[in-house]
Amino acid sequence: MNILNVSEFLPFVQKYFGHIIVIKYGGAAMQNTVLQSKVIKNICLLHSLGLKVILVHGGGPFINEWLCKLNITPKFHKGIRVTDHDTMEIVEMVLAGQINKQLVSLFSQNFTQSIGLCGKDSNLIVASPLFDDPNNLVGQVQSININLLNLLLENRYIPVIASIGLGSNNKTYNINADTVAGSIAGSLKAHTLVLLTDTPGIMLDIKNPLTLLKSLDLERVQQLKNNSIISGGMIPKVECCVKALQAGVKSTHIIDGRVSDSLLYELFTSSRIGSQILL
């Protein structure tokens, strides 16, 4: 991408200047160190151009790696990690202790102020259980401490948030990072939500990137769900975007985090690179 093409670049900077952008980060873009460095540099650029960026991250592959080291078999049910008490300890250690601080360190190396958080910090993410089973610590978002996030953004910090919530029962919950990002964006009525994924976006044929849909409204999304074109792991991502839009977010984007500079392509060019969902 020729980021110095001011004739195209500048109007988009003006469009987003001063607005809140929530980015969900995970998948291959997190595992590949070269891509990871690129993503962090891109976010630093957004920050330096006056955008108020919040970064939410998961870390499933790293959790699996640590579970295997400790001879604990990862378990999933309908694509959701079954999180018992032993697994929750590993999830918290990896997300809040390892990945979160690694990302904050990368921002520091790029001379950008960030602060690492999880849902336990100042009741940032109040959660409740997603399932009736008291031994399954998968959670859902009940509320977001927007006062804390606004305070950090006003003081030019990038909040880097691990997708862990704290319940009223003082239990720690593992929450899907897409869900957390969408809830934060909706609570703040952010301008934009971007989900970095391992797919180009929403495609009519999942095997053919040329069938990528660049722009959709909610009616089109529902049609694609009814026809099972939006299916599997794409369903929760799309539902996250829809809920964010209904809560006041102006635009939502599902883009390929495996593509270098995908954030800049999506936000700062008219052609974009992923799928945009609007009301």
Give tens-digit pLDDT for 79-110: 788 899 999 999 999 999 999 999 999 999 99
Report pLDDT for 27: 80
Determine the pLDDT at residue 4.
52
Distance CA 205, CA 41 (A): 32
Residue with token string 């635009």: 251
Which residue type sits at 198?
Answer: D
Contact 227, 4 (CB under 8 A): no
What are the backbone angles phi and psi of residue 136, rounded to the nearest 5°? -110, 105
| Interatomic CA distance for residues 221 and 239, integer angstroms | 9
225, 166 contact by CB (below 8 A):
no
Residue ranges at the known binding site for substrate:
59-60, 81, 174
Both tokens assigned to 47 = 């920050």
For residue 94, what is the DSSP state? I
Amino acid identity, position 262? S
Positive or negative CA dihedral for 172, 178, 183, 185? positive
- Which value, in Å, is the radius of gyration of the alpha carbons in the chain? 18
Residues forming the annotated binding site? 59-60, 81, 174
Torsion 98-101-106-109 (CA) sign? negative
Q: What domains sit in the chain, N to C, each tagged with a CATH number? A: 6-278 (3.40.1160.10)
pLDDT in tens, 35-55: 999 999 999 999 999 999 999
Give pLDDT < 50 ranges for the chain. 1
